[in-house]
Structure 1
């Protein structure tokens, strides 16, 4: 037996029957939410009792499909803008509800995603004796989340059993006492089942939340520089977010109203893969860039800023994609022009990309999550008796 396959089997068998609670702020469209659905469903299929807790309103529906055996609990304290006094009260209420929900789910360990949720989870589990695994899904050095959250992050993360990042660069940001329990697990390929190739209409495609991080303002400027050279191509930006009005105004001011489409969220995950002829990632920074991986796995030629972190892990420049210096709009425009104007280049890049990203096969990546779970279970010894909620907490 292949040693790697043997380890995969041991990890999967070792966590079967475990009670696992996963915490994330929401289950909308996004890379983190995709990973949560993938990992939670995988563990449910292994026979684990998996509970996913979110801060969302009760009527919220997951964008990505969850295995029906996954229990989903929404706490109805969604993230929203509030005054400092109201924000403090919301945090306290979230902590109380989160602690109660964690206890009632009776986990053997807890897995939390995203900085603020990680901080809340570490506070909510204080004194419960539960191993907590936290996962950072963005670039921790530059993502904006305020000085108080940053202070709490740096002081609470050493309490976690393990920190999971997607790249070594992100892990290296943290102090040695946090890195000692660090694991690097990349995102996995998880293309939608049954997707159909409806390409051939010269669509340059970008995907992501309409926020400053994703750099769509720079992409619009780059496309404007070369649009006249490629009149048969359109740019399609899939996603939704607070920067929509600003981006639409920029598009129109650049004279690209008829050349750039911004259709919002896809009706189902991964629909954009069916109609894209080339893919571009223009982010100022990333935790990984799961849409880039999906594009490569689906056989698309890709162009990306070499931003921190993710793209340089996935792309071998000139072989299976094109990397340009981060933030260099002229270089991005030139690379896009090369790809849009050369069908042989697109074919070569796409074929190499599809072959080279097989190392991110879902089975292999999920086995790494199994290993972290097994380590938490083994470190804390035999499975403890279920944690009983205190009467006051059980009342919610």
Structure 2
């Protein structure tokens, strides 16, 4: 069976990218593949559980400016794939192609770029744009997480690489254990950063709280904006209607008691939290940002899409969702539809698509 290596920034992080990498690595290991995870920096241990047959190692023990380390990383990768007899090398995020493309010149290693942002987002980094161009021209495959992002790649780049869309899998399957009756909690999970738009969520929530005070907003996550967000709660007068919980690898306990999932991200790649929410039967209210929500949410059946950055419109839909919850029949129908829609993202289905790709 083939020898697969996932190349990540830092597998010890607790984000969706690291979570889905761990899930897919475990699936492949169970199905007979030889699997390793290589972190660019830190990452001596995965934040999420790994199969005992998945090996983990890193290039650098500490963080640093990746581009200044370019020559060292190229030499390391070239030596690593030869020594480990790697057949397929998967860059978990297009940025990492800046290292692997030059490292594998004249080597018989299948080089896959697994994009986890969307093509429109470069975070102001020219090197990310360069990495995408290199991947489009010299990688063997580019895997996007959505059809919309696949189209971005094909429209914006001259792609010699094969471009395929494979959705991320939901990391757990517990729909049979879902308790239909939930508490009056609207849940949001993610890093407390600008990208995730929690500031917009709090503004929307403050409007909702003028009309109803019987609901709680629960925010689960950690990040550099945490203190500022708590100050925003105070200034908006909603502190008693908002709960903050630290990051956890047991997020299921929060999904299991919450009635709805809310997401106000400014941009995404393919938000894993929406898959997790649906698997646990939570209807979703989300901004229609690039990319992901529009391909996950079925309007009026599993949730609602709101124009990006429309705080007032989001608040109106939160109020509407609360009224749906008050009607047992309507709410239960949405819970059932959410669970049904999550099935196409189950690991067995998505994992088989990866196996077909790797064996091609």
Q: Which digits, 9 at most, give the CA deviation of each residue in 1:111-145, with x for residues without a partner?
A: 11112223222232233231101110111212415
Q: Which digits, 9 at most, give the CA deviation of each residue in 1:272-328, with x for residues without a partner?
A: 212322111111111111111111111112111111111111112112211111111
1:178-257 matches, cutoff 5 A: 178=159, 181-191=162-172, 200-257=182-239
Aligned to 1:131: 110
- 2:310 corresponds to which of 313, 328, 338: 328
**CA pair 358-172 structure 1, distance change in 2 beyond 3 A:** same
Q: How far is the alpha carbon of 1:212 from its aligned partner?
A: 1.3
SS at match of 2:255: helix
SS at match of 2:267: coil
- Does the CA contact (< 8 Å) of 1:280 and 1:303 recur in 2? yes
Aligned to 1:144: 123
- Does the CA contact (< 8 Å) of 2:16 and 2:272 recur in 1? yes
- Of the structure 1 ranges 153-162 and 231-240, higher mean CA displacement relative to structure 2 is found in 153-162
- Does the CA contact (< 8 Å) of 1:240 and 1:265 recur in 2? yes
- Does the CA contact (< 8 Å) of 2:180 and 2:332 recur in 1? no
Aligned to 1:12: none
Aligned to 2:28: 43
- Does the CA contact (< 8 Å) of 1:192 and 1:270 recur in 2? no
Name structure 2 gaps, 5 residues minimum. none
Q: Distance in 2 between matches of 1:199 and 1:120?
A: 50
Q: Which digits, 9 at most, give the CA deviation of each residue in 1:22-42, with x for residues without a partner?
A: 111122212211221122111
Aligned to 2:288: 306
- Of the structure 1 ranges 126-135 and 150-159, higher mean CA displacement relative to structure 2 is found in 150-159
- Does the CA contact (< 8 Å) of 1:163 and 1:179 recur in 2? no
Q: Distance in 2 between matches of 1:78 and 1:173?
A: 34
**CA pair 195-23 structure 1, distance change in 2 beyond 3 A:** farther
- Does the CA contact (< 8 Å) of 1:51 and 1:71 recur in 2? yes
Q: How far is the alpha carbon of 1:264 from its aligned partner?
A: 1.9
- 1:364 corresponds to which of 346, 349, 354: 349
Q: How far is the alpha carbon of 1:181 from its aligned partner?
A: 0.3
Aligned to 1:61: 45
Q: Distance in 1 between matches of 2:222 and 2:309?
A: 22
- Does the CA contact (< 8 Å) of 1:21 and 1:51 recur in 2? yes
Q: Distance in 1 between matches of 2:105 and 2:51?
A: 30
Higher relative contact order (CA 8 A, sep 6+): 1
SS at match of 2:273: helix
**CA pair 76-199 structure 1, distance change in 2 beyond 3 A:** farther
SS at match of 2:210: helix
Q: Which digits, 9 at most, give the CA deviation of each residue in 1:1-47, with x for residues without a partner?
A: xxxxxxxxxxxxxxxx2111111112221221122112211111122
- Does the CA contact (< 8 Å) of 1:198 and 1:275 recur in 2? no
- 1:160 corresponds to which of 129, 136, 139: 139
Q: Which digits, 9 at most, give the CA deviation of each residue in 1:209-235, with x for residues without a partner?
A: 111111111100000001132212111
Aligned to 1:99: 78
- 1:26 corresponds to which of 1, 10, 13: 10
Asked if residue 113 in structure 1 is aligned to residue 92 in structure 2, the reply is yes
Name structure 1 gaps, 5 residues minimum. 1-16, 376-396
Q: How far is the alpha carbon of 1:244 from its aligned partner?
A: 1.6
Aligned to 1:171: 150
SS at match of 1:174: helix
- Does the CA contact (< 8 Å) of 1:198 and 1:274 recur in 2? no
SS at match of 2:41: coil
Higher Cα radius of gyration: 1
- Does the CA contact (< 8 Å) of 1:171 and 1:179 recur in 2? no
SS at match of 1:52: strand
Q: Which digits, 9 at most, give the CA deviation of each residue in 1:42-65, with x for residues without a partner?
A: 11112221111112326x431221
Q: How far is the alpha carbon of 1:195 from its aligned partner?
A: 7.3
- Does the CA contact (< 8 Å) of 1:195 and 1:274 recur in 2? no
SS at match of 2:278: helix
Q: Aligned residue pairs: how many?
A: 353
